[in-house]
Structure 1
Amino acid sequence: MRIPRCIAGRRRYAAATAAAVICSAVFTGPDLAAAGGAPSPSVPAPKLDWRPCVQGSRFDCATAKVPLDYLNPGRRTIELAVVKRKATGPGRRIGTLFFNPGGPGGPGTVQMPQNYEFFPREVRERFDIVSWDPRGIGSSTAVNCFDSRKEADAWSAGKPAGFPVGEQQRKTWIAAYKDLARRCQQRDPELLRHVSTADTARDLDQLRQAVGDRQLTYLGISYGTFLGATYANLFPGKVRAMVLDSNVDPQAWTHASDDDPRLTTFLRMGADRGAAAVLDKFLALCGSTTTARCAFSAGSPKATRDKFDQLMRRLRGHPLGAWTYGRTVGDVVNSLYIVHPGWTGLAGRLQNLWQGRVPEPSPLPSAPPVPNPNPYLGDEQAGAVFCSDSPNPRDPAAYHAMEEASATRAGDAGRFWTWAAEGCADWPATVANSYRGPWNKPTAHPVLLVGTTYDPATPYSGTQAMARELANARLLTHNGYGHTALLNPSSCVKNYESRYVIDGTLPPVGTTCLQDTPPFSAPKPRGGVATGGGAMAGTVS
């Protein structure tokens, strides 16, 4: 999400937080495909003219042309930017593995090259790895509501960082997103109606056909799990192997809560509680070690929690330069995603703030070998996709009360996650074609679900919910911290994923893997299988 400065969306966090779910939400309009949608007319697969992305690059790039509207394919077409790394094991290639890095709004042409080495070695040897910028995003035909980056940056700088604090900041925040909605409506309203996850799932099937694969092999992380589940239910017979890592609860994403229809998507998902639980673990583990391993340690878990609470109260009343309370909480939530080096860096920034020093900016990720390593990724891109799928309150005035309620149960993280969806309140577009279930269509082959026990964005409960929803799934539990097992590695998880993707072998029911390197500690070899515990999918093959 890119509204506001939250998860994987900001350019400066592109490599470190590639798995994030979006930070803005918008209202979903009438659903014309609620139970599966009308069959799409036959559309020829696009032709991919692969060329090295830049001279000497190991990655190849291409552009795919697809219909804007699959129900009217003869009208407007749009372009998808696509990237590929060929299988590294000559003569052993099986096919293509498609990868979605999350978001929505994650530019695959940037994030796949940045994170390529995280893929299991055996998978890189046997598969071409392909990713793309989804429609509306990055270097594909993109949602862009400003005339220039300068104008976009000025808009972003004019609203509070992280989330608003106090009545005046709330007014400024709400006015900023109302202005963004107005700008977007004026630019390309037709595109805004055709950037749903269902549209992207149809694009994915077009890309599958374009590379010549009879069935889809896929890895999706974070929001990419929702895309995978959508594909699996629109094209159940085309699933060869599908790994969904750090899962979004599809019912929470697509439907308002019966108990409280005013809740935002992220509060329905429990992202506020999840982030609060991980933050508590961060502080406890930090306080259990020395300042040499965690700079913010106060010598015990309780003392470190108290120190953090004191720092937040201090920043709320007296910001340190640009480091306001809202910006700091946003930085904390973002930094919980990647344990190494994210947690160590976070501890250092908190300690600097505690000592009255402005933290140094995080280093920028190195540019990957692609033509456009820094595409425009404005807040409106992720928001436009999220709008197409997920209902959120339309009354801006409702968010302050929700914030206070969430803060009661989840502390500072609750405030952040509540305002992460406020961009929905004035969003102008209604979706032309979406998919909101059912989620239990039998797939040609079972799906492998991976869930991390302490995940600050998509709680483990979301993976359990996905396991209950899908018709044919197996759950692999990653006993560790951070957002996605891909970016917080476990050799145990990688081994099971490799066997499944290569030959379809599922892990035993109830398997639990350990993280390779726990926070603030020396590495443990190869992330062994934990004994006891684990969970199984609702329907296990």
Structure 2
Amino acid sequence: MLWKTTLLQFAALSSVHANTIATSNHARSDQLRWGACDVDDPSLQCANLTVPMDYTDPDSDATIQLHLLKVPAVRTPKKGSILFNFGGPGLEARHSLAGLSKRILALTGGDYDLIAHDPRGVAKTFTASCFNTSEERMAGPYAAMSSVADPEDRLALSTLWGASLALGNACYDYPSFQDKGPNLGTVFTARDLMQIVDAVEGDGLLRYWGLSYGTALGATVAAMFPDRIDRMILDSVVNPHQFYNYYDTEIWADADMVFSSFIKECLKAPEHCGFSHRNSTAFDIEKDIYNMIDSLKTEALAAGDQVVDSAIVRSFIRFSLYSPSSYSYLSRALDLLLSNNAAGFMEIYNENLAEGFLATVAQDESAFAIPCSDKIAPQQTFTELGEIFTELNGESRLLGSSGSGLAMICANWRFQAKERYTGNFESKTKHPLLVIGNRYDSATALRCAQNVTASFEDSVLVEHGGFGHGSWSQGSACTSKIIRSYFAEGTLPEYGTICEPDYGPFEPKTIDDVLKDIGFMDGE
């Protein structure tokens, strides 16, 4: 990783006891006014749903509007709706669903409506913004927050600390954020999800697919409302225990192994691999890259008016490892840098990462405001955070330090969510959860998926043997069939199921090719 008959009851109960809330008198979908969307596909439909701004205050009449997008089912009889959250937090879920509609219809069978909303704080929904313009945002503390600092680099860490403190102060002092800050938590978003269920489902049951941060949201709603879970997939899993009660360290546990495996797979596909001309082993190339990154910590390179330092290289590696479709250009860029061609590296960086990533970051503060308002972290001062920096680096030498910035922002965040989930996620849902974890996911380690599976009774983990962030990153007929069967019949695979991808990480294929091969998606 990525909506009022019962509202007073919601507000009166803590999240731990939310499963006792009545589920009768559900509003039906014909009460939502579905109409045209602000997307190119005319078959898609949109609607707005009004929900309370603050579920803990039954006397308040303040509301917010959730913006919903629906991909209508293409088969009859229709079985209901599946709700989605694609992660982040901060991703615009509506536009993500619009762009992925054909793929998801194929995976889910086509007989469900697919619905996504931009959660509170995201995009135009109760926007979590602390600055007047994107230019003001990027000129302020964000300029320093883009850095990556190692535990021994006290100067860089101190700069990051100052930037995170400035960001926390900017949000605390921003007038419109006073109401928004305490009302952005994941529990409120979970309640929003159930409001959507009440508006679109006659049976009051949730069918849901969450990815990355969407798994923290999914685990929360499953623990709060276990008797209302009909189907739920958690894919590319965040550890929800750490999400609420600690800093996010476990997610990085596989990053170094993934990077090593990336180099090995690269050399197996010389026609797509930037390292193929080198007469070197994967071990030697990896060693050279680490040495190069270390050298850039003390002697950065210039590429015209741009600086190439350790932080920008590791950020480039971090986001490129999300998808195997990026692996070829990642290998070319690193190969250029190994030859001291900083200009060539920055050309690939600017073409493939900088504009899209910075444009996303520059939109709002949801990526910080949501997790930091949820989190009760034990270390709060710069000195106390030292052990967290060390722990992050211990999880991943390459990418663990990428978590330092978020840890510092959360330590300096001055808003707490009005309602947090305080349970242990040990719950038995109406229907068991399907959990999917990638073996080679540098952003959410497989260990996180194993921990969540152990929490929810009778849930089953599929180990997807692919690279990238989420099971869609490298397609597998095995995994795709399990997903289709789960939504169609509620069928769960055997415990210990492992699904391998149908093609290599450097092959120019996608999961859509797999879906066409197995007859789930029409060829074009």
Pairwise TM-score range, normalised by the shorter structure: 0.7 to 0.9
Partner SS state of residue 499, structure 1: helix
Q: CA deviation at 1:449?
A: 1.0
Change (3 A) 1:417 1:319: farther
Equivalent residue, structure 2, for 1:183: 170
Partner SS state of residue 307, structure 2: coil
Partner SS state of residue 417, structure 1: helix
Contact 1:276 1:410 in 2 (8 A): yes
Q: What is the alpha-carbon distance in structure 2 between the residues aligned to residue 41 and residue 280 of structure 1?
A: 51
Contact 2:208 2:218 in 1 (8 A): yes
1:449 is aligned to 2:439? no
Q: CA deviation at 1:126?
A: 0.8
Among 170, 178, 184, the alignment partner of 1:195 is 184
Contact 1:479 1:512 in 2 (8 A): yes
1:204 is aligned to 2:193? yes
Q: What is the alpha-carbon distance in structure 1 between the residues aligned to residue 234 and residue 168 of structure 2?
A: 32
Q: What is the alpha-carbon distance in structure 2 between the residues aligned to residue 66 and residue 34 of structure 1?
A: 17
Q: What is the alpha-carbon distance in structure 2 between the residues aligned to residue 399 and residue 379 of structure 1?
A: 26
Partner SS state of residue 308, structure 2: coil
The runs of 5 or more residues in structure 1 that have no matched partner are 1-18, 21-31, 257-264, 368-373, 528-541
Among 213, 219, 233, the alignment partner of 2:223 is 233
Greater relative contact order, per chain length (Cα 8 Å cut-off, separation 6+): 1
Change (3 A) 1:243 1:38: closer
Q: CA deviation at 1:407?
A: 3.0
The superposition leaves residues 126-157 of structure 1 with CA deviations (integer Å, 9 ceiling, x where unpaired) of 11111111111112111110012221121255
Contact 1:101 1:111 in 2 (8 A): yes
Equivalent residue, structure 1, for 2:157: 170
Q: What is the alpha-carbon distance in structure 1 between the residues aligned to residue 242 and residue 301 of structure 2?
A: 35
Q: CA deviation at 1:227?
A: 1.1
Partner SS state of residue 409, structure 2: helix
Q: Paired residues, what number?
A: 479
Q: CA deviation at 1:433?
A: 0.6
Contact 2:44 2:69 in 1 (8 A): yes
Report the TM-score when normalising by structure 1: 0.81
Partner SS state of residue 63, structure 1: strand
Change (3 A) 1:287 1:486: closer
Q: CA deviation at 1:124?
A: 5.3
Equivalent residue, structure 2, for 1:271: 251
Identity rate, percent: 26
Among 34, 52, 55, the alignment partner of 2:36 is 52
Report the TM-score when normalising by structure 2: 0.83
Q: What is the alpha-carbon distance in structure 2 between the residues aligned to residue 232 and residue 295 of structure 1?
A: 44
Contact 2:82 2:115 in 1 (8 A): yes
Change (3 A) 1:86 1:391: same
Q: What is the alpha-carbon distance in structure 2 between the residues aligned to residue 197 and residue 186 of structure 1?
A: 23
Q: What is the alpha-carbon distance in structure 2 between the residues aligned to residue 495 and residue 227 of structure 1?
A: 25
Among 376, 381, 404, the alignment partner of 1:391 is 376
Equivalent residue, structure 2, for 1:462: 448
Equivalent residue, structure 2, for 1:10: none
Q: For residue 470 of structure 2, what is the amino acid of its counterpart?
A: T
Equivalent residue, structure 1, for 2:289: 308
The runs of 5 or more residues in structure 2 that have no matched partner are 3-12, 516-524
Equivalent residue, structure 2, for 1:284: 264
Contact 2:86 2:96 in 1 (8 A): yes
1:439 is aligned to 2:432? no
Partner SS state of residue 437, structure 2: strand
Q: What is the alpha-carbon distance in structure 1 between the residues aligned to residue 461 and residue 154 of structure 2?
A: 44
Q: CA deviation at 1:201?
A: 0.7
Among 477, 498, 502, the alignment partner of 1:491 is 477
Which structure has the highest helix share of the two? 2
Q: Which 10-residue stretch deviates more, 133-142 or 384-393?
A: 384-393
Equivalent residue, structure 1, for 2:518: none
Structure 1 vs Structure 2 CA RMSD? 2.9
Q: What is the alpha-carbon distance in structure 1 between the residues aligned to residue 449 and residue 486 of structure 2?
A: 18
Contact 1:450 1:477 in 2 (8 A): yes
Q: What is the alpha-carbon distance in structure 1 between the residues aligned to residue 54 and residue 223 of structure 2?
A: 19
Contact 1:447 1:474 in 2 (8 A): yes
Q: What is the alpha-carbon distance in structure 2 between the residues aligned to residue 396 and residue 365 of structure 1?
A: 30
Partner SS state of residue 207, structure 2: strand
The superposition leaves residues 461-512 of structure 1 with CA deviations (integer Å, 9 ceiling, x where unpaired) of 1111111101231222211221110333222111111111112111223221
Q: CA deviation at 1:77?
A: 0.6
Q: For residue 351 of structure 1, what is the amino acid of its counterpart?
A: D
Show the 5 A alignment for 1:355-504. 355=339, 356=341, 357=344, 358-360=346-348, 361-363=350-352, 378=363, 380-392=365-377, 393-400=379-386, 402-404=388-390, 406-408=392-394, 410-504=396-490
Q: CA deviation at 1:64?
A: 1.7
Change (3 A) 1:377 1:142: farther
Partner SS state of residue 260, structure 2: helix
Contact 2:207 2:229 in 1 (8 A): yes
Q: What is the alpha-carbon distance in structure 2 between the residues aligned to residue 51 and residue 509 of structure 1?
A: 43
Q: CA deviation at 1:104?
A: 1.8
Change (3 A) 1:82 1:424: same
Contact 2:74 2:111 in 1 (8 A): yes
Contact 1:389 1:434 in 2 (8 A): yes
Contact 2:255 2:398 in 1 (8 A): no
Equivalent residue, structure 1, for 2:519: none
Show the 5 A alignment for 1:510-521. 510-521=496-507
Equivalent residue, structure 2, for 1:220: 210
Contact 1:439 1:471 in 2 (8 A): no
Q: For residue 399 of structure 2, what is the amino acid of its counterpart?
A: A
Contact 1:40 1:70 in 2 (8 A): no
Q: CA deviation at 1:403?
A: 3.0
Q: What is the alpha-carbon distance in structure 2 between the residues aligned to residue 218 and residue 247 of structure 1?
A: 14
Q: CA deviation at 1:39?
A: 7.2
Contact 2:19 2:225 in 1 (8 A): no
Q: What is the alpha-carbon distance in structure 2 between the residues aligned to residue 144 and residue 402 of structure 1?
A: 28
Among 72, 75, 87, the alignment partner of 2:73 is 87
Among 82, 88, 97, the alignment partner of 1:97 is 82
The superposition leaves residues 246-276 of structure 1 with CA deviations (integer Å, 9 ceiling, x where unpaired) of 22222232234xxxxxxxx222xx2232212
Q: For residue 266 of structure 2, what is the amino acid of its counterpart?
A: C
Change (3 A) 1:348 1:416: same
1:294 is aligned to 2:277? no
Q: What is the alpha-carbon distance in structure 2 between the residues aligned to residue 455 and residue 391 of structure 1?
A: 26
Contact 2:134 2:362 in 1 (8 A): no
1:128 is aligned to 2:116? no
Change (3 A) 1:285 1:185: same
Partner SS state of residue 384, structure 1: helix
